[in-house]
Amino acid sequence: MLPVGPALGVLLAALLLAAATVGALAHLTHGTGRPGGGARSAGGGQGHARAVLSAGLRAVVQLAAVSLLIGWVVRAVPLLLTFIAVMFAVAVRTAGRRVTPNRSWWWAAVPIVAGVLPVVAALLLTGLVPVRGIILIPVTGILIGGALTATVLGGRRALDELEARWGEVEAGLALGLPPRDARLEIARPAASDALLPGLDQTRTVGLVTLPGAFVGMLLGGASPVQAGAVQLFVLVALMAVQVVAVAVVLELVAGGRLHRDLDPDVSSTTAEGE
């Protein structure tokens, strides 16, 4: 276990500043969520250096708050469910606004729910996870986090690809393809790439990485077999959640429900095609 003290605080601050500095020097940026905004130059997007500092500081505040609240919310089921609802709402807002700046962002709730709810329900119904906050909150949080990541990566890649290759979508429409099918042909390969990080982590577990659940259980006194079983469940459950999330977000993009504001001529073409 890492000792909590001044040395840990200094090291965390140094790592955060180093990450922000490297991001600034390398001009790492992210797009603005508008047509053509997937990859921009140093002056055309928002810098990741500032985002790194902001994310680190937010993590400090949020983890401190959760550390104080967690012991309180686990005492009653209503408080527990409220806490999980807040986790879900934050995930939807974060994922949706990462994918698109317009009002269609709230559709990000659908892939997150579709991925997480069946797995959590199965855990509760089989009794593998009891309705106790000290267990349910971290398990649900891991699954929501995985669905959030898959939704963001799948949605952004799909929409970026549609913007970059809109001419091919129009060609499909001209050949008589329904709008959904025309978008799907272009967006599917790009959205599928959202599964690569999870697949690679699962393929290399134990050989390249020892994930947090495994190490945490070992430090907590569990046997290696128990720790391995829990980590295996986490990885398989995350794969299931992420596959469902990517499939659903791809369908939402192809159906035009989750979208970005396009140029007027593109928007009119879409309307005519639908």
pLDDT category, 271, cuts 50, 70, 90?
A: very low
Vertex 51: Cα angle to 7 and 205 (nearest 5)? 70
Instruction: For 170, list phi and psi in degrees, rounded to 5.
Output: -65, -35
Percent of the chain with pLDDT over 70: 83
- Res 85 pLDDT > 70: yes
Q: Please, what is the angle between helix 6-25 and helix 48-73, to 10°?
A: 150
Burial class (CB in 10 A: 0-12, 13-18, 19+), 34: middle
pTM beyond 0.85: the answer is no
Tokens of 151: 């939704």
Domain range summary for the chain, segments of one domain joined by +: 1-73, 75-273
250 closest CA partner among 117, 97, 142, 115:
115
Decide: 95 and 155 in contact? Cβ < 8 Å. Answer: yes
pLDDT tens by residue, 202-261: 888 777 777 666 777 666 667 778 777 777 888 889 999 999 999 999 999 999 999 987
Distance CA(48)–CA(229), nearest Å, equals: 37
Give the angle 7-51-42 at the CA atoms, nearest 5°: 125
Asked if 151 and 111 count as a contact pair (C-beta separation under 8 A), the reply is yes
The pLDDT, as a whole number, for residue 205 is 79
pLDDT at 32: 47
Cα 140 from chain centroid (whole Å): 14
pLDDT in tens, 129-154: 877 767 788 889 999 999 999 999 99
List all residues 6 or more positions away from 115 whose beta carbon is below 8 Å from its beta carbon. 143, 146, 147, 150, 240, 241, 242, 243, 244, 245, 248
For the stretch 1-48, pLDDT in tens is 567 778 878 888 888 888 888 888 887 776 544 444 444 433 344 567
Confidence band of 199 (pLDDT split at 50, 70, 90)? confident
